[in-house]
């Protein structure tokens, strides 16, 4: 299922929530309508919370079916809450916005090339997948640029052929270039998705919707 939504008037819904195949963590002040739309589109259970005392949960957390990586600024109580549902590791690194800096599914992960090797190892262990460091479209915050599931990936419209091949090789899914929210190039910020469905910012055009549906193999 694919649905349109916005969060507190903002179409960049991926900034405020994170999801895998089974569970989603959503900013604590989310409206009931947003929570319901996410539950219906992705068919997951939802839990409202903060991360590092902030509502930008999607920017600060990345997860797949194996585990979650959160900002090292997170409160122990926040980490404990996530660990009720999935193993969780806090990464103590200046690049603390894990959701913005990591693109992952259950097959692999692409990381901001500025992460030090010891942090890459911690992320790999937490997510249970091989990690490759690279920029996409010349930009290091790869998690904000793309949205990947276990069925497909949509990526920044300016991604090169080599970028697309890297995504496909690492994540083991097909990838296509597109935009979201009427021309926005930050697909991770505008989409929440898993293999069952997607919630998309409500400024997305019908043409963009079709490309996202194709890229995430939700037809």
- Its pTM stands at 0.97
Domains delineated in the chain = 2-213 (3.75.10.10)
Q: Tens of pLDDT along 138-149?
A: 999 999 999 999
Banded model confidence at residue 4, pLDDT cuts 50, 70, 90: very high
Q: What is the pLDDT of residue 219?
A: 84
The encoded tokens of residue 97 equal 């916005």
Q: Tens of pLDDT along 101-148?
A: 999 999 999 999 999 999 999 999 999 999 999 999 999 999 999 999
Q: Which residues of 59-94 are buried (b: 16+ CB within 10 A; e: fewer)?
A: bbbbbbbebbbbbbbbeeebbebbeebbebbbbebe
Q: Tens of pLDDT along 55-94?
A: 999 999 999 999 999 999 999 999 999 999 999 999 999 9
Please choose, from the candidates 201, 206, 97, 196, the residue with its C-alpha nearest in 3D space to the C-alpha of residue 152: 196
Task: Please tell me the distance from the alpha carbon of residue 205 to that of residue 208, in angstroms, as a whole number.
Answer: 5
Q: Which residues of 31-45 are buried (b: 16+ CB within 10 A; e: fewer)?
A: eeebbebbbebbebe
């Amino acid at each position: 299922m694919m649905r349109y939504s916005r969060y507190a008037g903002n179409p960049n819904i991926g900034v405020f929530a994170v999801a895998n195949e089974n569970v989603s963590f959503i900013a604590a002040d989310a409206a009931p309508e947003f929570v319901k739309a996410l539950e219906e589109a992705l068919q997951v259970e939802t839990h409202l919370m903060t991360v590092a005392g902030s509502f930008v949960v999607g920017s600060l957390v990345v997860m797949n079916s194996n585990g979650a990586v959160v900002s090292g600024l997170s409160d122990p109580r926040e980490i404990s809450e996530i660990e009720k549902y999935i193993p969780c590791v806090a990464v103590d690194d200046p690049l603390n916005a894990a959701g913005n800096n990591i693109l992952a599914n259950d097959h692999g992960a692409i990381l901001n090339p500025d992460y030090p090797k010891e942090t890459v190892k911690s992320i790999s262990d937490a997510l249970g997948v091989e990690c490759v460091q690279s920029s996409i479209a010349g930009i290091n915050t790869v998690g904000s640029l793309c949205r990947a599931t276990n069925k497909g990936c949509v990526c920044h419209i300016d991604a090169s052929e080599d970028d697309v091949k890297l995504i496909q090789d690492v994540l083991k899914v097909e990838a296509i270039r597109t935009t979201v929210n009427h021309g926005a190039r930050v697909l991770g910020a505008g989409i929440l998705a898993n293999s069952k469905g997607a919630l998309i910012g409500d400024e997305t055009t019908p043409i963009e919707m079709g490309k996202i549906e194709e890229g995430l193999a939700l037809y």
